[in-house]
Structure 1
Amino acid sequence: MAWKLLELVYYSLIFVILLAAKTYGINCGSDPCKCQLSEDKYLNFTELKGDRTVGSVTYHYYGCKNTVLNNDCKETTLCLEEKINENTTKWTSLGNQKDMQFENSKIGADYDIIYSKSRIGLICTEHFNESVLVEKDISKVNEPVLFIFSNKGCAIIIQHHGMSTGGTLVVLLLVGFAVYFVGGSIVLYCIRGARGKEMIPNIDFWQNLPGLVKDGVIYLLNGCRPTAVSTAESYDRI
């Protein structure tokens, strides 16, 4: 009974450690100006903005904050200005803060800022103090694609004091193994009268582990297809 309780405590500890491990994706949360990339890195778009004029077309980009330019580009972060003729200018909003998304780049940049009608590739230039907006050839795509080169688009490192989450998890895992083996040995020694290697918890599993690993590797190398039994360990388990 005591042995089963010890096993339950051990596996519960492993389960808690796995739950505590954070798998970070790109998370902008409630603040579109700041996106968490990992436990120790984030991006700050507060000062990221720029304009780009190509012929009669001008893109106005205002980063993560909506701006009112006119009635056509109202509450927008990216606006397209097209000069039709000397007297006519067409304004089109290509995105606003509400529909902004952020993801790993699919167009060769570091990260992509995605709007419902456009996409901006963000490229970190650490030693370049200005933000430069560049238009990509869009003849083969259905949405305007821009690149912005800026040191404001570089990841900011968060300085941690003390042990990181990864270090804490490693310590907990080592403590779990210590409790498992030491506690299990004590239980087997005192209750079952085990001696020598018989004091190792689940000794049959640990003795068979190399064969299990070998079988798993062979299984993967064969494309996850069953193969003929080729080892003594495999034959014994069958």
Structure 2
Amino acid sequence: MKVVTNQDGGAFLVWTLVVQLVLCGSGVYAADGTDSCKLLSESVSERNVLKRLEPLAHKNFTAVTKNGTESYTYVFQLCGDAGGVPGAGIVQLDSMKMEEKPTVIGMYDATQVIGGSNWVMLIYANGDKYDAHCSKEKRKAIVMISCDRKTDMGNMKVVLEDRDRLQNCFYLFEFESSAVCSAIESHISTGSIILIIGFCLLAVYLIGGFLYQRLIVGAKGMEQFPNHAFWLEIGNLTADGCDFVCRSGKQEEAPAYRGGATEPIEEEPEERDDHLLPM
């Protein structure tokens, strides 16, 4: 029995390790999230903006550019080792010379982040130095993430490599994600809230009253309606009041619509103008 128990425990341990490795490989198992990124100047505002990118942490994004015979592949990972290079946030791979060491564009231990309502700009600094451009300063990557509520992880694009200057050269990347979208606030007016509460109370009254009348009282037909006699009386009184207000006094139709006068016309004497005739 002890041998079986040990085998079961060993099998459980092996399966646990396999699951963890699969989760880590897929980027789902990432307990630290964006905490791996080190800000150049630690601030609460930048850290809060970085927290918005938690769904993208430790996931790889790739982009390919071609210029004549040259072809480069860029790998970006948020707060993780891009291309397996320790500390690298973005790396560049020469597609024609894959065996060469990747060029580090930016390090995630030198992070800056700026956020708006529907966008986040991530900056990785302290990459490998240029060979001849930009006064041989260290490379820097700027990743622009814009809002798209229909996309969890969009395709990364290489916008440009600005190296035709003496200083502050940079690589610019962009992609879309719903992670940076602002929350949609629901604005319900006071009147709408009152109507919703009223409809809910009315529904409870009708359903509860119907069940009580049918199951407890044993009513049938229209008598199942809660307080049927009361509402019937209210309806009759309302109709009487409307009749009293809107039809106050008995009116008779105009003579033009009855085809004759309301009172009989008395016949006048035939000789009413006889005194006007000459004798």
Q: What's the TM-score bracket when you normalise by the shorter of the two chains? A: 0.3 to 0.5
Q: Which has the higher contact order (CA 8 A, sep 6+)?
A: 1
Larger Rg over CA atoms: 2
TM-score (norm 2): 0.36
